[in-house]
Chain A
């Protein structure tokens, strides 16, 4: 969809040099992972909770369509209009139509990565609907005309000072405001928009199949305003967000809140079941829910099914050493970091994001923290089989390496070449190796095998 062909090598090369961004990313990533560690440590049965999460999610991803249908039926029964979108383009068309049918010209929006996935803002703006982001992070991003760089903390790459500068530039606030003053400035700006908006747009953290409710977490109260003030309400929700019963919700909420921001529960929790009913004073006249597939049913049937279990907590991003070294934009994908390196190629195409499964050291930190135990490193390793074409050299090397005599010769040759500084067959690898390091240095003296031989003869 985006005109640029993603190139992680090039983007990451530039990203590691951007020390301002990296410092900002690390500061918040450290904060988030620290808070998560504390919250987890204070939850004695967290492992049991994780197991529950994984087991329950396996049941769900094993039968996505069943839960999607049951959610749709119950949401309709509660008065919502449910639309099914098979891909991003269809979701965008549906959203435009909902706005047009109701003469909606302005919209306020809560943070939603699913909306990013369908490029909803761009689509609506092109159709003449003005969309205002109301989550502080998203508000910042929108002012700066950027994309989110973290699925949970979209403006993680910007420091307070940079945000203050941006506000002065775009909103005319006094220079160098404190965090509190920045929040107040954004509030003031947004209040008017909330009151005037025709349409409220959100994602959905969970969709509850047995009640048809959309569950939304927030720490700023913006979601509450966006779901109650405007007359038309739209929620864009991936079918992977559906959980079977309201009774499942507290457990998933406990997993998500702890992993996302080290909280036991978010500051605000909205459970939206249908539009305003007769006699009620608040709520929209219409509630539309777009259930987005966009490859999810296909993924559920394949070998990477558990990526659909993802709660979008962002913990794997904040803990990933590669993400911390390059920031989110270097991935050039809606979903960056470990979960994104699995999900982005699966959704958008392996050929577009062939770099991402390789952009990982397989350090295993993500799997260690994931609240629903998505086997991210295993998936990234397996995806390499799908995206990499092993060069002939490596195939030949494998033949040599499992043939003891050839292997021994190879080792001797490698030692000699490295000692004498001759590159030979190793030239291409050494060229990249020496971007940031000297060539490996073999120890002087006899090889282990020679030592072993003399020694066993001596005995």
Chain B
């Protein structure tokens, strides 16, 4: 059999991890590297543009999309620790350029090589299993809307969690319900957003988990900030990549 050539990946950190969660970026790099992937980090990268796209400011969204294209077009593959950002690059960019077929084509190519990190491990690296976690904590998983219905990843993260954590992984009741974040929705209608959040947190508490994993730090920012308001302080909110890194390196944090 031929030795596969080294895979190269450009990390798209996302603005959330850039501003709030450096550990998610570090974990993404180390997980990919532990599978022999050559990771680079284009420093000119910024944000995917969802805040503009989802508030109806298509003009600004186009500016953001064009910048993303400029930074990442030459990459072999782009990997981000966020389903919603990947959904944006994959499914939302090219429709912004109707009537510009050449540009649209370039965006479609970009779309076809952009992955969420968990998705990349499953679909491209074809990693069948992960080692057991050294200190498994009772953990549940929030399958965000953009993971399920945006990039269509179902059951993959859950499988990896089962391999790493065994019985310590507890599925979340009503798992496919939205957590109530919704970007601008969270500040336009905070009472409704808060009600949906309460329901999600209620289900999390029901599982007895002390760790909540997801592939979307934006949902987790909302949920963790809500958990602090509700004094559910002990909960740890992590991107799946962080648990993967801990399992792969055999130590916690």
Contact = CB atoms under 8 A, between A and B. Distances in A.
Interface of A: 8-9, 12-13, 16, 321-322, 325-326, 357-365, 367-368, 381-388, 390, 394-395, 397-399, 401-404, 407, 411, 414-415, 418, 429, 432-433, 435-443, 445-449, 451-452
B97 interface: no
B229 A394 contact: no
A13 B18 CA distance: 33
A367 B193 CA distance: 20
A175 to B, nearest CB: 32
Nearest to B68: A402
Interface stretch (B108-116, B126-134, B173-181): B173-181
Interface in B139-198: 145-146, 148-150, 176-178, 180-198
Contacts of B228: 437-438, 441
Contacts of B197: 436-437
A12 B192 contact: yes
Given A12-B192, A436-B229, A447 B55 contact: no
A8 B192 CA distance: 10
B243 interface: no
A363 B19 contact: no
Nearest to B222: A437
21 contacts: A9-B188, A321-B178, A325-B195, A360-B182, A362-B183, A364-B146, A364-B149, A368-B149, A384-B54, A385-B57, A385-B58, A390-B60, A395-B60, A411-B19, A415-B20, A436-B193, A437-B229, A438-B228, A442-B19, A442-B21, A443-B23
Given A401-B47, A411-B18, A435-B190, A440 B180 contact: no
B182 A363 contact: yes
Contacts of B26: 448, 451
A362 B145 contact: yes
B60 A440 contact: no
Identify the 10 closest CB pairs spanning chains A and B, nearest first: A361-B182, A436-B194, A384-B56, A398-B60, A364-B149, A437-B225, A448-B25, A435-B190, A363-B178, A385-B56
Q: How large is the interface on B (under 10, 10 to 19, 20 to 34, 35 or more residues)?
A: 35 or more
B149 A363 contact: yes
A442 B195 contact: no
Nearest to B197: A436
Majority-rule SS of B interface residues? helix
B226 to A, nearest CB: 5
Contact of A398 (B44, B64, B186): B64
Majority-rule SS of A interface residues? helix
A435 to B, nearest CB: 4
Given A321-B196, A388-B57, 8 more contacts: A361-B185, A364-B145, A390-B56, A404-B45, A432-B188, A433-B225, A436-B191, A437-B228
Contacts of B55: 358, 384, 388, 390, 394
A386 B56 contact: yes
Contacts of B208: none
B188 A16 contact: no
Contacts of B137: none
Nearest to A8: B189
B17 interface: yes
Nearest to B226: A437
Contacts of A12: 189, 191-192
Given A321-B180, A321-B196, A404-B46, A441 B225 contact: yes
Contact of B194 (A322, A437, A438, A441): A437
A436 B183 CA distance: 15
Interface in B184-235: 184-199, 221-222, 224-226, 228-229
A440 B221 contact: yes
Nearest to B177: A321
B22 interface: yes
A451 B22 contact: yes
A452 B45 CA distance: 14
A360 B57 contact: no
B20 to A, nearest CB: 5
A438 B189 contact: no
A436 B47 contact: no
Contact of A402 (B67, B184, B185): B67
B26 to A, nearest CB: 6
Which interface residue of B21, B150, B189 has the most chain A CB atoms within 10 A? B189
B63 interface: yes
B182 A362 contact: yes
Which interface residue of A16, A365, A398, A432 has the most chain B CB atoms within 10 A? A398
A443 B20 contact: yes
B19 A365 contact: no
A438 B63 contact: no
B145 A402 contact: no
A388 B46 CA distance: 24
Contacts of B100: none
Contacts of A386: 56
B245 interface: no
B51 interface: yes
Nearest to B225: A437
Which interface residue of B21, B22, B29, B52 has the most chain A CB atoms within 10 A? B22
Contact of B52 (A9, A358, A394, A452): A394
Given A394-B60, A402-B63, A436-B197, A415 B145 contact: no
Contacts of B51: 394, 397
B22 A433 contact: no
Contact of A449 (B18, B64, B149, B190): B18
B57 A395 contact: yes
A420 to B, nearest CB: 14
A354 to B, nearest CB: 11
B22 A9 contact: no
Contacts of A414: 19
A439 B64 CA distance: 26
A128 B100 CA distance: 59
